[in-house]
Amino acid sequence: MVWRETSVEDERREFVELASLSGANVSALCARFGISRQTGYVWLRRRAAGETAFSDRSRRPHASPGRIGAAVEKRLCELRLAHPAWGARKLAALMRRDGIEPPAASTIHAALLRNGLVREEARRPQAYGRFERDEPNALWQMDFKGRKKLEGGGFVHPLTIIDDHSRFAIGLSACADETTTTVRGRLTGVFRRYGLPAAIYVDNGSPWGAGTPGQWTRLRVWLLKLGVETIHGKPYHPQGRGKCERFHRSLDVEVFSMAPLPDVERAQRAFDRWRRVYNYERPHEALGFDTPASRYVPSARGFPERLPEPVYGDGEILRKVPTTKQYIRFKGRWWIVPAAFAGETVAIRPRAPDGTFSVCFGALEIATIDLKRPQNAPQKV
């Protein structure tokens, strides 16, 4: 039962005064005041102990052993305000780095909630299948995030390059478009600083191509000359690009949602600031809360300022692919080769005594020739 709503404190005071009289029937008084006997005796004990106030006591415990100190909570709030998208585990890792033993992640989260520093939309994890190369530069993941509207008009196209082993952000470029020329220019700068990877993992969009047999792009040929393999992900399987996808989500939360970006130049400056934080300060859960920089070293293979050309043996049949058409001439007939090899020198090598030949760029077969085909239009390879 509960006290009547009118002047609760006065009701309690009157009950205590009446129940304290000599010969008072406490049970009857409890019934008249609409309270239980247990509640009545609680107030009588408080009166006997000298209490004169009849308001409700706080239900807060006298001691909270799990509650963190004010200085620690203040430091947590400072770290959260400096990095609004970082969760309890990352903040704990930062505190350890500063020589402060952090409380449990749940306690940190509770402190952030108390101070209104938790955004509900930041708590939506997405799971991707995970794989990891054994060493830095064995594989880089490269992708365009997709265009983002700029405050001053137009769009920016963020180009992201992540080292698969360390999650180190090799490159984060604010591009005005997604053309081969733009990508090659940005990759050249990255290669000069960090060296060459063994392979680059891309999706099936422009400008990398679809990765289907026989499909070549100028960008893929350029990488081939540098000794960099191009690996294409399976269509409709974003799991293979999980590190890029996760990086893009962090970029959204920690850059694009924080302040509007007026133009491409200022977008690049914002990208550069955040990339440094991401690589050197931000703890990464998949790395045991180490930073990506703690696991990354540049590649030992430097970028050659003069692009290597394929080497062919003496006596090989060589043809130069014209720059204006994708045909080569052999045995008095024209044969189609991939347009990406325009201007390149290729070798024609016998495959078997039956009149079939391989068209090779270096050691790699890029097309075939079959002399048994009827001579009509230039033959597709």
Residue type, 192: R
Residues 145, 289 share a domain? yes
Residues 281, 203 share a domain? yes
Residues 189, 84 share a domain? no
Residues 173, 209 share a domain? yes
Would you say residue 336 lies in a domain? yes
Would you say residue 323 lies in a domain? yes
Residues 204, 108 share a domain? no
Q: What is the pLDDT of residue 62?
A: 53
In the predicted structure, residue 24 carries a pLDDT above the cut 90: no
Residues 208, 236 share a domain? yes
| Straight-line distance from the first to the last Cα atom of the chain, in angstroms, rounded to the nearest whole number | 91
Would you say residue 301 lies in a domain? no
Q: How confident is the model at residue 101 (pLDDT cuts 50, 70, 90)?
A: confident
Residues 111, 172 share a domain? no
Query: Which residues does residue 143 pair with via DSSP β-bridges, in sequence order?
Result: 160
Question: Exposed, middle or buried, 93 (CB in 10 Å: 0-12/13-18/19+)?
Answer: buried
Residue (of 181, 220, 179) closest to 202 by Cα position: 220
Would you say residue 381 lies in a domain? no
Cis peptide before 125 (omega within 30 of 0): no
Q: What is the pLDDT of residue 7?
A: 63
Question: Exposed, middle or buried, 219 (CB in 10 Å: 0-12/13-18/19+)?
Answer: buried
Residues 182, 37 share a domain? no
Radius of gyration of the chain (CA): 36
Would you say residue 164 lies in a domain? yes
Structure-model confidence comparison of residues 199 and 92, the more confident one: 199
Would you say residue 115 lies in a domain? yes
> Residue 107 belongs to what domain range?
70-122
Alpha-carbon distances, residue 61 vs 30, 58, 64, 217 (angstroms): 28, 8, 7, 69
Taking only the tens place, the pLDDT of each residue in 157-183 is 999 999 988 889 999 999 999 999 999
Residues 185, 109 share a domain? no
Count of structural domains within the chain: 4
Residues 212, 112 share a domain? no
Beta strands (DSSP E) in the chain are 140-144, 148-149, 155-163, 169-175, 199-202, 229-232, 317-320, 327-330, 333-336, 345-352, 356-361, 364-370
Residues 329, 251 share a domain? no
Would you say residue 20 lies in a domain? yes
Bridge-based pairing of strands 229-232 and 199-202 is: parallel
CATH code, 178: 3.30.420.10
Would you say residue 348 lies in a domain? yes
Taking only the tens place, the pLDDT of each residue in 33-89 is 888 888 888 888 888 887 777 776 665 555 555 567 777 777 777 777 677 667 777
Residues 360, 253 share a domain? no
99 three-class SS: coil
